[in-house]
Amino acid sequence: GAVVSQHPSWVICKSGTSVKIECRSLDFQATTMFWYRQFPKQSLMLMATSNEGSKATYEQGVEKDKFLINHASLTLSTLTVTSAHPEDSSFYICSASRVAVNTEAFFGQGTRLTVV
């Protein structure tokens, strides 16, 4: 149980285009999903916290107009990188917590974004 599926696992896009990444909890309901960014050989940097049916809460320094997050259901959250630039190239990872908030978080497999 507790499987989080992230899609796509990798994507290459042209500079200026937008890319959407999906995060799904397959076998549990997730009221809260988290989006992280990870640079090579570094730990995870939290970008935003997404609660089902409400606006995402962004961490300081993360542009909410650039990284659009939608959490329309208890099993799906999406991250859209708008007008992507090469500096947005990174490894993006989502995680989900079950309905009871004080539990562990499960991670998706990550999405490698390369902007050319």
Partner 1 sequence: QKEVEQDPGPLSVPEGAIVSLNCTYSNSAFQYFMWYRQYSRKGPELLMYTYSSGNKEDGRFTAQVDKSSKYISLFIRDSQPSDSATYLCAMKEGAQKLVFGQGTRLTINP
- 109 sits near partner 1 (criterion: CB under 8 A): yes
Q: Is the peptide bond before 86 cis (omega within 30 degrees of 0)?
A: no
Q: Interface with partner 1 includes 85 (CB under 8 A)?
A: no
The answer to whether residue 79 forms part of the interface with partner 1 (CB under 8 A) is: no
Hey, what's the torsion of the CAs at 78, 111, 33, 49, to 10 degrees?
A: -90
- Check binding of 96 to partner 1 (CB under 8 A): no
Q: Which residue has the tokens 């989900």?
A: 96
The one segment of 14-22, 67-75, 79-87, 98-106 that binds partner 1 by CB under 8 A: 98-106
Using CA atoms, how far apart are residues 78 and 57, in angstroms rounded to an integer? Answer: 14
91 is a contact residue toward partner 1 (CB under 8 A): yes
Nearest by Cα to 9 from 87, 112, 114, 116: 112
Residue numbers at the binding site for partner 1 (CB under 8 A): 2, 4, 6, 34, 41-44, 46, 49, 91, 93, 95, 101-102, 104-110, 112
